[in-house]
Amino acid sequence: MHVFLVRHGATEWSVSGRHTGRTDLPLTPQGEAEARHLAPLLHSLAPRIVLSSPLSRARRTAELAGFGECLRLDPDLAEWDYGLYEGRTTLEICRDSPGWDLFRDGAPRGESLEDVARRVRRVLGRLEENGEDALLFAHGHLLRVLVANWLRLPSDSARHFAIETCSLTILGNEHSWPALLALNRKPVDEIPDNNSRSQRSPA
């Protein structure tokens, strides 16, 4: 079984580095172009299951990549709930809370790391029970926690994985061990990226 992960295309807040949890922002024109450009690569994988976060930026990425008709929404794939830190940059948060670390401290009136980890473990449990290749459209921090849990690492190991917008990450097994087979794969013929900062910003 393989699990194919796609982070949604760029949004205004991903470009500006603002934490985008449950705020339902649309893709930018660049984000829509990224999603369309990824379609041939994703269709070559022939996934049997296609799931998406219910948030529109993930759903729209899936639709533009050509998976709208077979898409199923899974609330457990929604992004981390950042609570009072929604819409703020890490720099802004650290001015008020020096040394703040999302993976250690979570978000006030939002989710903790363990809250998110429980959700991704439910997703992985359902996929493992089914046993078929699956394609997931979701969000930066959620997918990082999912990668760590697939690898049987502590959930806070997610801080070591950076997942770019509209990139493909592949999880599978190597000699019966869970493995990270590809990270941030993109089509060879890259489209122009007018906002490279958006690639590794939160959510």
- Active-site amino acid positions: 8, 79
A 10 A CB-CB count for 115 gives 14
Q: Are 144 and 159 in contact (CB under 8 A)?
A: yes
Give the DSSP letter of residue 189: S
- Burial letters 159-183, b for 16+ CB under 10 A, else e: bebebbbbbbbbbbeeeeebeeeeb
Q: Are 143 and 158 in contact (CB under 8 A)?
A: no
Which positions ≥6 away from 95 have C-beta within 8 Å?
A: none
3-state secondary structure of 60: helix
Closest CA to 65 of 186, 155, 172: 186
Q: Give the Cα-Cα-Cα angle 99, 101, 107 (nearest 5 degrees).
A: 115
Q: Give the Cα-Cα-Cα angle 113, 203, 170 (nearest 5 degrees).
A: 85
